[in-house]
């Protein structure tokens, strides 16, 4: 195998050519069709992930643009940085795309590729790299990447993109953590090659004796990494603008009572809130000099007819770590009993029905609702619903689980016991939606892997578990249990009936060598209400 046609060979190219001639005599070149088809399966999955990242990134850029129009001085400079990011990401992505196309052209021939492009010229977004014919060609990728030294160019492009992303991050602890993660994703360090018994340049290790199908899949994975990290950095830049926050120049304490009026013997409850509180710290709540629970819920038994007050303080620390106190006071009235309004069968609509979780309800998911009234104590409030089941948690708090189909409404009705009578206080409708699908990952030792390179020790950990969740930043918290999943590697599909590896799967994983792609697919998880969901695949490359 020589250098580029019509070009004199460099000494390095001659050396590589001799190396390939020797290896050709030593290695069997017949690659299993199942393995090659497996690369196609992984590549298709990567393209689906790339399309998803493109859509999310596009939506975020649009939101960024709209925010910059509303707050040009505050958001404008960060939006400009995001557009610079977009340019850098597109440049790296397009370079990899051209790299893939050249390998396909070397593999199938220019005439065949041009014919396919002409035939599909009216097909929007047609990508000739996804229709590789000579999948087992082991000459094309090494020739383009190593002999013609374009692999070194790719390495430089990725290194430049990595350096750009790293310089965008802040200098604090979280910034360093982000940079470390980026360096793992775009690692182009030299790699130890068993066949050579020494370290070789990254581009040689990646494309040496590599079938075209494998090379194209590897490059698709790099493109997916580019788009995924682009999305992470858009989010990071957007967060730096504080565009989603209300500007706060002082902290204030607020009291939200269930009711300002309570009857003798009834319980008084109020929610103490600190506006603008930092979720990374836990404020301390004090009422009348006594510290109360960390949730800020203040409860006591009312006594003594008449007007009363209580006061307190909420203690927290500002961004500089300095202690700050926010003081409050609240008035409440204790009465012997409430009088029924004359000439009407029900009280005025004065009930508030609040879904603490969301503005919609999800099918099969138990939502916590707070129900309050200004005229009836929480202990005397009752809730019923059409299209949902209801259970009482505590006075004024109810667990409501939608049984109606997605697209339909759940009607929540509130009644109260008032002077021995049951009176209607009002109702409210909530639209039912289907629970969104969680994201699958491989959990190893408390760390979750969602794809990409993975160390052998991590993949083979017997305690590894396939899990599914919405992540820490989700609006709702729901439990999902993985029922089964398949592992695809080396042309074999092996099933596990549960979240852990089966014996056959673990035995197969132990045979894999570095650089081998592994795919977790057919993942099924049971969510709230017993609904079984089909989750997206997870793709790994053994590192």
Length of the chain: 543
pTM for the model: 0.43
Residue 482 has pLDDT above 90, yes or no: yes
Q: What is the pLDDT of residues 9-32, one digit of tens each?
A: 444 444 433 443 333 333 334 455
Q: What is the pLDDT of residues 239-283, one digit of tens each?
A: 877 634 444 555 667 667 766 555 555 677 777 866 665 555 678
| Partners of 386 in beta bridges | 411
pLDDT score recorded for residue 319? 47
Residue 344 has pLDDT above 60, yes or no: no
Tokens, residue 368: 């916590």
Domain edges within the chain:
11-240, 253-335, 351-433, 439-542
pLDDT score recorded for residue 229? 92
| Beta strand 452-454 pairing with 538-542 | parallel
Closest CA to 263 of 382, 346, 375, 393: 375
- Using the structure block, give the residue that is written with the tokens 């094309």: 140
Q: What is the pLDDT of residues 18-74, one digit of tens each?
A: 443 333 333 334 455 666 777 788 888 888 889 899 999 999 899 889 888 888 888
Tell me what the mean pLDDT of segment 360-381 comes to: 81
Least-confidence region, from 199-203, 244-248, 459-463, 496-500: 244-248
Closest CA to 504 of 490, 487, 523: 487
User: CA angle 37-39-44, nearest 5°?
Assistant: 95
Do the two domains 253-335 and 351-433 of this chain adopt the same fold? yes
Starting at the edge strand found earlier in the chain, the sheet holding 447-449 runs 447-449, 439-444, 465-469
The set of long-range contacts for 318-326, using a CB threshold of 8 Å and a minimum separation of 24, is 319/278, 324/251, 326/251, 326/252, 326/253, 326/274
Burial bucket for residue 31 (CB in 10 Å: 0-12, 13-18, 19+): middle
Looking at domain 253-335, does it have CATH number 3.30.300.30?
no
Q: Contact 163/142 with Cβ under 8 angstroms?
A: no
Half-sphere exposure of 151 (CA within 13 A, CB side): 24
pLDDT score recorded for residue 276? 60
Q: Contact 88/161 with Cβ under 8 angstroms?
A: yes
Looking at domain 439-542, does it have CATH number 2.60.40?
yes
Q: Where are the alpha helices (DSSP H) in 442-534?
A: 456-459, 503-510
Tokens, residue 351: 């009930």
Q: Which class in CATH covers the domain with range 351-433?
A: mainly beta
Q: Contact 140/103 with Cβ under 8 angstroms?
A: yes
- Give the three-class secondary structure for 33: helix
């Amino acid at each position: 195998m020589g250098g580029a046609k019509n070009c004199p060979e460099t000494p390095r190219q001659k050396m590589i050519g001799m190396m390939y001639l020797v290896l050709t005599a030593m290695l069997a070149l017949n690659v299993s069709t199942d393995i090659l088809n497996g690369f196609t399966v992984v590549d298709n999955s990567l393209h689906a992930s790339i399309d998803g990242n493109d859509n999310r990134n596009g939506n975020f850029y649009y939101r960024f643009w709209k925010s910059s129009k509303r707050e040009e001085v505050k958001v404008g400079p960060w939006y400009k940085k995001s557009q610079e990011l977009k340019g850098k990401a597109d440049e790296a992505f397009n370079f990899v795309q051209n790299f893939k196309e050249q390998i396909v052209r070397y593999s199938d021939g220019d005439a065949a590729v041009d014919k396919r492009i002409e035939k599909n010229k009216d097909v929007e977004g047609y990508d000739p790299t996804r229709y590789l014919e000579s999948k087992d060609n082991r000459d094309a990728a090494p020739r383009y990447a190593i002999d013609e030294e374009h692999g070194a160019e790719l390495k430089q492009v990725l290194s430049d993109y990595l350096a750009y992303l790293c310089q965008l991050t802040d200098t604090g602890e979280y910034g360093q953590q982000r940079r470390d993660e980026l360096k793992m994703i775009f690692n182009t360090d030299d790699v130890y090659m068993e066949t050579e018994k020494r370290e070789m340049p990254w581009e040689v290790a990646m494309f040496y004796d590599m079938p075209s199908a494998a090379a194209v899949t590897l490059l698709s994975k790099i493109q997916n990494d580019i788009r995924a990290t682009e999305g992470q950095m858009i989010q990071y830049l957007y967060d730096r603008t504080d565009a989603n926050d209300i500007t706060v120049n002082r902290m204030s304490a607020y009291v939200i009572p269930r009711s300002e009026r309570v009857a003798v013997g009834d319980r008084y409850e109020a929610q103490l809130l600190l506006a603008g509180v930092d979720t990374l710290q836990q404020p301390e709540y004090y009422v009348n000099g006594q510290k109360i629970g960390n949730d800020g819920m203040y409860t006591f038994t009312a006594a003594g007819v008449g007007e009363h007050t209580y006061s307190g303080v909420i203690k927290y620390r500002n961004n500089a770590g300095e202690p700050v106190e926010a003081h409050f006071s609240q008035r409440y009235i204790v009465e012997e009993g409430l009088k029924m309004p004359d000439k009407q069968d029900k009280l005025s609509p004065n009930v508030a029905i609040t879904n603490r979780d969301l503005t919609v309800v999800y099918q099969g998911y138990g939502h916590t609702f707070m129900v309050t009234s200004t005229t009836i104590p929480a202990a005397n409030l009752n809730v019923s619903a059409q299209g949902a089941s209801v259970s009482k948690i505590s006075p004024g708090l109810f667990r409501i689980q939608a049984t109606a189909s997605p697209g339909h409404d759940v009607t929540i009705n509130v009644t109260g016991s008032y002077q021995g009578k049951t009176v209607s206080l009002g109702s409210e409708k909530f639209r039912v939606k289907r629970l969104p699908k969680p994201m699958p990952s491989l959990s190893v030792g408390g760390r979750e892997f969602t794809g990409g390179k993975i160390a052998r020790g991590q993949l083979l950990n017997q305690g590894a578990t396939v899990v599914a969740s919405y992540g820490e930043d989700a609006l709702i918290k729901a439990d999902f249990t993985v029922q089964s999943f398949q592992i695809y590697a080396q042309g074999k599909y092996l099933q596990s009936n549960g979240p852990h590896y089966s014996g056959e799967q673990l035995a197969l994983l132990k045979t894999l060598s570095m650089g081998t792609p592994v795919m977790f697919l057919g993942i099924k998880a049971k969510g709230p209400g017993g609904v079984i969901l089909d989750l997206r695949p997870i793709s790994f490359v053994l590192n």
